[in-house]
């Protein structure tokens, strides 16, 4: 336990609130999106500003406390919270300023993507975010970030213009292509290893109303759909995005009653082109394997980005596995459908998120993100409401992943990994790993920021 005088001094300096076990709000503040995570920090500091973040860094460093950095708290592995340590909770640092004339937005680390997309949507502008609006901006961005706009505008990090960072030694600096380019390179995909980002500046694009929604097919058509999809989407215009999913149809509108509770395969579309052209674009796939149900129509981008929020509220129990995928041979497709048929709960799912198009136009060593040559980022999620299903969702997700891993590119998207060991972290970065370890040695030689998918500093340091 840290020195009581040091904590009192810290508490006095803090502009935000300090929560200790037993304080009102402490229990809620230690919970994260994944209901499986049950960690017990010693202290939670609700940071109000950059000075509070620097104070947290100093306290953790001086007192040898494990330090967790919490943005949106969405990380599947629960990396935002630490046992017996200090959590710097950034959720109150949610300043946001849209600059429509410059096509940019400045975002505090407490913002969710829903906050950003709604504010930018008022100006018919957007940047690349994920598919659930409650996800935090910092964790998604620092891991790379892919979503509905990625085939057209790249990864979230490809749209990052600048980041303000509190470093392990307490200094604050701004990283950009022109200032501390080594740090800026590492922040774009290297996770929370290098410092605490207290402000992000993103490039915006004109995105008004999009044509979006799902096509569903019965499970007996799943292999045929996947065989078409693997060639169809990579050849489609970058204005078309469609992520493939195995799922169970929720018993709710607008889904037809006949499909309620049925396992299906689906593609969730987002079309940024002329609405009149969408039917012609989808025709090759639809004609080959006619969908059982479709619900595609116009909507503002922020509406699309929040469509799944209600199906996946905070507190569900998740087991995540992932891998990047370069190709989908017939044998892999057969294994996909075999495992999908055994989904243990109605909320469990498998997604193939496209990472081609504009993502491929950035050089593989231009940012820390390690996989610019793959077509999909796969995500297998066993999801349950009750602890009684924990073993079933874990075993299903692990078994599914183990069967498909030999057909993968070898590593996973950082943000779809659980605690999977150092070899998997290394595999997530491939050729960029050694350079990341060198940047880590420059900016965090003692590995203060290690409660993440950790890259120990080159030449020593403490593995996380």
The three-state secondary structure class of 8 is helix
Residues 58 and 15 sit within 8 Å (Cβ to Cβ) = no
Taking the C-alpha atoms of residue 333 and residue 219, their distance in angstroms, rounded to an integer, is 13
Touching ligand FAD, residues 351-410 (CB under 6 A)? none
Omega before 254 cis (within 30°)?
yes
- Give 220's DSSP letter: G
Which of 66, 121, 139, 456 binds ligand FAD (CB under 6 A)? It is 139
Q: Write down the least CB distance from residue 256 to ligand FAD, Å.
A: 25
Phi, then psi, of 133 in degrees rounded to 5 = -75, -15
Stretch that binds ligand FAD, among 3-11, 138-146, 262-270, 273-281 (CB under 6 A): 138-146
Minimal distance in Å, beta carbon 68 to ligand FAD? 6
Tell me how many residues contact ligand FAD (CB under 6 A): 34
In three-state secondary structure terms, 464 is: coil
Tell whether residue 140 is a contact of ligand FAD (CB under 6 A): yes
DSSP class of residue 33?
S
In angstroms, the CA 149 to CA 116 distance is 14
* In the complex, least distance from residue 258 CB atom to ligand FAD, rounded to whole angstroms: 27
Using rule CB under 6 A, residue 138 touches ligand FAD: yes
Tokens for 89, please give them.
């909770």
**Nearest one of 261, 272, 269, 306 to 116, comparing CA atoms:** 306
Does 79 participate in binding ligand FAD (rule CB under 6 A)? yes
Q: Answer for the pair 272, 239: CB distance below 8 angstroms, yes or no.
A: yes
111 contributes a contact to ligand FAD by CB under 6 A: no
Among 69, 87, 168, 175, binds ligand FAD (CB under 6 A): 69
- Examine residue 196 and tell whether it contacts ligand FAD (CB under 6 A): yes
**Whether 312 contacts 347, CB under 8 Å:** yes
If one asks whether residue 464 binds ligand FAD (CB under 6 A), the answer comes out as: no
Length of the chain: 464
Which one among 104, 211, 367, 415 touches ligand FAD, defined by CB under 6 A? 415
360 close to 451: Cβ distance less than 8 angstroms: no
Q: Does 90 bind ligand FAD (CB under 6 A)?
A: yes
- Among residues 16, 35, 41, 71, the one that binds ligand FAD under rule CB under 6 A: 71
Find the distance separating the first CA and the last CA of the chain, reported in whole Å.
20
Q: How far is the CB of 415 from ligand FAD (least distance, A)?
A: 4
For 150-292, strand residue ranges (E) read 160-166, 172-175, 196-203, 205-206, 209-218, 240-248, 263-271
**CB of residue 446 to ligand FAD, shortest distance in Å:** 16
- Write the DSSP symbol of residue 24: T
Residue nearer to ligand FAD on the CB measure, 126 or 140: 140
Q: Which stretch binds ligand FAD (CB under 6 A): 4-12, 133-141, 246-254, 322-330?
A: 133-141
| Rg, the chain, Cα only | 22
CB closer to ligand FAD, 211 vs 305: 305
Question: In angstroms, what is the minimal distance from the CB of 416 to ligand FAD?
Answer: 6
Query: Which segment (75-83, 212-220, 263-271, 324-332) binds ligand FAD by CB under 6 A?
Result: 75-83
Token pair of 142, please?
A: 């620092």
Distance from C-alpha of 76 to C-alpha of 228, rounded to nearest angstrom: 31
**Interface stretch with ligand FAD, choices 128-136, 274-282, 394-402, 421-429 (CB under 6 A):** 128-136
Name the minimum Å distance from CB 51 to ligand FAD.
15
Taking residues 23 to 42 in sequence order and writing x for each that binds ligand FAD by CB under 6 A, - otherwise, the string is: ----------x---------
CA atoms of 128 and 126, how far apart (whole Å) = 7
Question: Is residue 190 near ligand FAD by the rule CB under 6 A?
Answer: no
Residue 250 DSSP one-character state: -
CA distance 394 to 385: 13
The binder of ligand FAD chosen from 147, 190, 242, 382 (CB under 6 A)? 147
Looking at beta carbons only, is 135 or 215 nearer to ligand FAD?
A: 135
- Between residues 293 and 400, which has the closer beta carbon with respect to ligand FAD? 400
Least distance to ligand FAD, CB of residue 69, Å: 4
105: exposed, middle or buried (C-beta count within 10 Å: 0-12, 13-18, 19+)?
buried
CB atoms within 10 A of CB 202: 26
- 436 token code pair: 């990341």
**Which of 41, 85, 121, 136 forms a contact with ligand FAD (CB under 6 A)?**
136
What is the smallest separation between the CB atom of 188 and ligand FAD, expressed in angstroms? Answer: 13
Residue of the chain from 65, 107, 125, 132 that contacts ligand FAD (CB under 6 A) = 132
Catalog residues that contact ligand FAD under the rule CB under 6 A: 33, 68-76, 79-80, 90, 109, 130-132, 135-136, 138-140, 142-143, 145-147, 192, 196-197, 312, 415, 451-452
């Amino acid at each position: 336990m840290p020195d009581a005088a040091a904590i009192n001094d810290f508490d006095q300096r803090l502009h935000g609130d300090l929560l200790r076990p037993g304080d009102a709000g402490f229990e809620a503040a230690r919970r994260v999106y994944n209901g499986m995570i049950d960690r017990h920090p010693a202290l939670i500091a609700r940071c109000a500003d950059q000075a509070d973040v620097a104070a947290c860094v100093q306290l953790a460093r001086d007192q040898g406390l494990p330090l967790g950095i919490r943005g949106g708290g969405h990380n599947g592995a629960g990396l935002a919270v630490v046992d017996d340590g200090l959590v710097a909770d950034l959720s109150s640092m949610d300043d946001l300023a849209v600059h429509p004339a410059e096509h940019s937005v400045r975002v505090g680390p407490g913002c969710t993507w829903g906050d950003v997309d709604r504010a930018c949507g008022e100006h018919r502008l957007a940047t690349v975010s994920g598919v659930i609006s409650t996800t935090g901006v910092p964790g998604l961005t620092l891991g790379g970030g892919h979503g509905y706009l990625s085939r057209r505008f790249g990864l979230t990090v490809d749209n990052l213009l600048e980041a303000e960072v509190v470093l392990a030694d307490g200094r604050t600096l701004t990283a950009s292509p022109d200032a501390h380019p080594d740090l800026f390179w590492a922040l774009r995909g290297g996770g929370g290893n290098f410092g605490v980002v207290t402000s992000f500046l993103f490039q915006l694009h004109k995105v008004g109303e999009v044509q979006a929604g799902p096509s569903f097919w019965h499970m007996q058509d799943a292999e045929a759909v996947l065989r078409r999809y693997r060639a169809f989407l990579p050849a489609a215009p970058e204005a078309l995005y469609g992520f493939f999913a195995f799922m169970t149809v929720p018993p709710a509108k607008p889904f037809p009653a006949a499909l309620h509770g049925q396992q299906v395969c689906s593609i969730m579309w987002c079309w940024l082109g002329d609405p009149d052209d969408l039917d012609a674009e989808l025709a090759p796939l639809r004609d080959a394997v006619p969908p059982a149900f479709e619900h595609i129509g116009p909507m503002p981008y922020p509406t699309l980005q929040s469509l799944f929020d209600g199906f996946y509220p905070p507190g569900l129990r998740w087991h995540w596995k992932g891998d990047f995928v370069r190709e989908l041979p017939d044998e892999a497709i057969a294994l996909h459908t075999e495992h999908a048929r055994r989904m243990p709960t109605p909320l469990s799912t498998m997604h193939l998120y496209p990472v081609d198009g504009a993502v491929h136009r950035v050089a593989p060593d231009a940012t820390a993100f390690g996989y610019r040559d793959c077509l999909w980022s796969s995500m297998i999620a066993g999801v349950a409401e009750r602890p009684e299903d924990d073993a079933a969702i874990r075993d299903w997700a692990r078994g599914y992943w183990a069967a498909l891993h030999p057909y993968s590119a070898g590593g996973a998207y950082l943000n779809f990994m659980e605690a999977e060991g150092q070899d998997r972290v290394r595999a997530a970065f491939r050729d960029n790993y050694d350079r990341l370890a060198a940047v880590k040695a420059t900016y965090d030689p003692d590995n203060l920021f290690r409660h993440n998918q950790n890259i120990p500093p080159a030449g020593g340091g403490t593995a996380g």
